Amino acid sequence: MHNPTVDDVREKITELADLMDAYQLTKAKWCGPDWKIAFERADDEDEDEDGEESAAPVAVAPRRSVAPRPKAAEPERPVGFPISSPMMGIFYLTPSPGNPPFVKEGQTVEAGQVIGLIEAMKVFNELTAPSAGTVVKLVKANGDLVQPGEPIMFIG
Protein backbone atom coordinates (compact mmCIF):
# COMPACT_ATOMS: atom_id res chain seq x y z
CA MET A 1 0.00 0.00 0.00
CA HIS A 2 2.16 2.89 -1.28
CA ASN A 3 -0.27 5.80 -1.19
CA PRO A 4 -2.95 4.89 1.34
CA THR A 5 -6.33 6.57 1.30
CA VAL A 6 -7.85 8.05 4.46
CA ASP A 7 -10.03 4.94 4.79
CA ASP A 8 -6.94 2.73 4.43
CA VAL A 9 -5.21 4.70 7.19
CA ARG A 10 -8.26 4.48 9.48
CA GLU A 11 -8.48 0.73 8.86
CA LYS A 12 -4.77 0.26 9.57
CA ILE A 13 -4.98 2.37 12.75
CA THR A 14 -7.87 0.21 13.97
CA GLU A 15 -5.92 -2.93 13.08
CA LEU A 16 -2.83 -1.68 14.93
CA ALA A 17 -4.94 -0.77 17.97
CA ASP A 18 -6.47 -4.26 17.96
CA LEU A 19 -3.02 -5.84 17.75
CA MET A 20 -1.71 -3.63 20.54
CA ASP A 21 -4.56 -4.79 22.79
CA ALA A 22 -4.35 -8.43 21.73
CA TYR A 23 -0.60 -8.68 22.29
CA GLN A 24 -0.47 -6.14 25.13
CA LEU A 25 1.99 -3.98 23.17
CA THR A 26 3.01 -0.50 24.24
CA LYS A 27 4.40 0.53 20.83
CA ALA A 28 3.48 -0.08 17.19
CA LYS A 29 4.30 1.57 13.88
CA TRP A 30 3.30 1.39 10.25
CA CYS A 31 5.65 2.81 7.62
CA GLY A 32 5.46 3.63 3.96
CA PRO A 33 8.03 4.99 1.51
CA ASP A 34 7.62 8.60 2.65
CA TRP A 35 5.37 8.40 5.74
CA LYS A 36 5.12 6.71 9.13
CA ILE A 37 2.40 6.24 11.77
CA ALA A 38 3.60 5.38 15.27
CA PHE A 39 1.68 4.61 18.45
CA GLU A 40 2.92 4.57 22.00
CA ARG A 41 0.52 3.75 24.79
CA ALA A 42 0.94 6.03 27.79
CA ASP A 43 1.41 4.23 31.12
CA ASP A 44 0.92 5.46 34.65
CA GLU A 45 4.67 4.90 34.98
CA ASP A 46 5.46 7.47 32.23
CA GLU A 47 6.28 10.16 34.74
CA ASP A 48 9.49 12.09 35.02
CA GLU A 49 11.43 12.55 38.24
CA ASP A 50 9.20 15.47 39.34
CA GLY A 51 6.13 13.21 39.26
CA GLU A 52 4.74 14.96 36.18
CA GLU A 53 3.85 13.20 32.96
CA SER A 54 6.43 13.24 30.21
CA ALA A 55 5.95 16.02 27.69
CA ALA A 56 6.80 13.79 24.71
CA PRO A 57 3.93 13.62 22.21
CA VAL A 58 2.16 10.31 22.32
CA ALA A 59 -0.58 9.02 20.04
CA VAL A 60 -2.69 6.69 22.15
CA ALA A 61 -4.41 3.85 20.38
CA PRO A 62 -8.16 3.66 20.93
CA ARG A 63 -9.28 0.94 23.33
CA ARG A 64 -11.31 -1.78 21.71
CA SER A 65 -12.72 -4.91 23.23
CA VAL A 66 -10.60 -7.59 21.68
CA ALA A 67 -10.05 -10.88 23.43
CA PRO A 68 -6.32 -10.94 24.21
CA ARG A 69 -4.32 -13.98 23.28
CA PRO A 70 -3.51 -16.12 26.26
CA LYS A 71 -0.04 -15.42 27.58
CA ALA A 72 2.43 -18.24 27.45
CA ALA A 73 3.12 -19.55 30.90
CA GLU A 74 6.36 -18.14 32.21
CA PRO A 75 8.88 -20.82 32.98
CA GLU A 76 9.17 -21.56 36.66
CA ARG A 77 12.39 -20.17 38.06
CA PRO A 78 14.40 -22.79 39.95
CA VAL A 79 15.03 -22.30 43.64
CA GLY A 80 18.50 -21.00 44.44
CA PHE A 81 20.65 -18.29 42.95
CA PRO A 82 21.77 -18.15 39.34
CA ILE A 83 25.36 -18.62 38.26
CA SER A 84 25.52 -16.33 35.24
CA SER A 85 27.97 -16.15 32.40
CA PRO A 86 30.53 -13.36 32.89
CA MET A 87 31.20 -13.18 29.13
CA MET A 88 30.05 -14.31 25.72
CA GLY A 89 31.42 -17.65 24.65
CA ILE A 90 30.84 -21.39 24.43
CA PHE A 91 29.96 -23.11 27.72
CA TYR A 92 31.57 -26.47 28.44
CA LEU A 93 30.45 -28.74 31.24
CA THR A 94 33.44 -31.09 30.80
CA PRO A 95 37.18 -30.32 30.80
CA SER A 96 37.58 -32.18 27.49
CA PRO A 97 35.53 -34.54 25.29
CA GLY A 98 35.00 -37.93 26.93
CA ASN A 99 35.70 -36.64 30.46
CA PRO A 100 33.01 -36.58 33.16
CA PRO A 101 31.23 -33.25 33.74
CA PHE A 102 32.48 -30.80 36.34
CA VAL A 103 29.04 -30.88 38.03
CA LYS A 104 25.66 -32.60 37.73
CA GLU A 105 22.22 -31.62 39.00
CA GLY A 106 21.92 -32.58 42.67
CA GLN A 107 25.69 -32.45 43.24
CA THR A 108 27.11 -30.50 46.18
CA VAL A 109 29.78 -27.93 45.30
CA GLU A 110 32.24 -25.93 47.39
CA ALA A 111 33.02 -22.23 47.04
CA GLY A 112 35.73 -21.76 44.40
CA GLN A 113 35.13 -25.18 42.80
CA VAL A 114 35.32 -25.22 39.00
CA ILE A 115 31.80 -25.82 37.67
CA GLY A 116 32.39 -25.24 33.97
CA LEU A 117 34.46 -23.56 31.27
CA ILE A 118 33.66 -20.72 28.90
CA GLU A 119 35.68 -20.57 25.71
CA ALA A 120 36.10 -17.05 24.39
CA MET A 121 38.54 -16.24 21.59
CA LYS A 122 40.26 -19.67 21.87
CA VAL A 123 40.86 -19.13 25.63
CA PHE A 124 39.20 -21.42 28.17
CA ASN A 125 38.07 -19.49 31.24
CA GLU A 126 37.17 -21.36 34.42
CA LEU A 127 33.73 -20.69 35.90
CA THR A 128 33.79 -21.24 39.66
CA ALA A 129 31.08 -21.54 42.29
CA PRO A 130 30.87 -18.29 44.29
CA SER A 131 29.65 -20.20 47.37
CA ALA A 132 28.95 -23.70 48.59
CA GLY A 133 25.63 -25.31 47.75
CA THR A 134 23.83 -27.86 45.61
CA VAL A 135 23.42 -27.64 41.85
CA VAL A 136 19.64 -27.29 41.62
CA LYS A 137 19.29 -26.92 37.84
CA LEU A 138 21.58 -26.87 34.82
CA VAL A 139 20.15 -24.35 32.36
CA LYS A 140 22.81 -24.63 29.66
CA ALA A 141 24.13 -27.79 28.05
CA ASN A 142 27.66 -28.64 26.99
CA GLY A 143 28.57 -26.61 23.88
CA ASP A 144 25.82 -23.96 24.27
CA LEU A 145 26.56 -20.35 23.35
CA VAL A 146 26.17 -18.09 26.40
CA GLN A 147 25.80 -14.33 26.68
CA PRO A 148 26.99 -12.08 29.54
CA GLY A 149 24.56 -12.24 32.45
CA GLU A 150 22.70 -15.27 31.08
CA PRO A 151 22.05 -17.96 33.73
CA ILE A 152 24.04 -21.16 33.23
CA MET A 153 22.91 -23.02 36.35
CA PHE A 154 21.23 -22.47 39.70
CA ILE A 155 22.85 -23.33 43.03
CA GLY A 156 20.75 -23.57 46.20
Q: Which among 49, 68, 77 has a CA at the least distance from the CA of 156?
A: 77
- What range does the domain containing 47 cover? 1-70
Digit-coded pLDDT (tens) for 67-80:
555 666 666 666 78
Give, in degrees to the nearest 5, the angle at Cα 107 between 106 and 113.
Answer: 145
Same domain, 96 and 133: yes
Digit-coded pLDDT (tens) for 13-29:
777 777 677 666 777 77
Same domain, 54 and 104: no
Digit-coded pLDDT (tens) for 68-111:
556 666 666 667 889 999 999 999 999 998 999 999 999 999 99
Helices (H) and strands (E) in the chain, counts: 1, 10
Same domain, 46 and 11: yes
Same domain, 40 and 13: yes
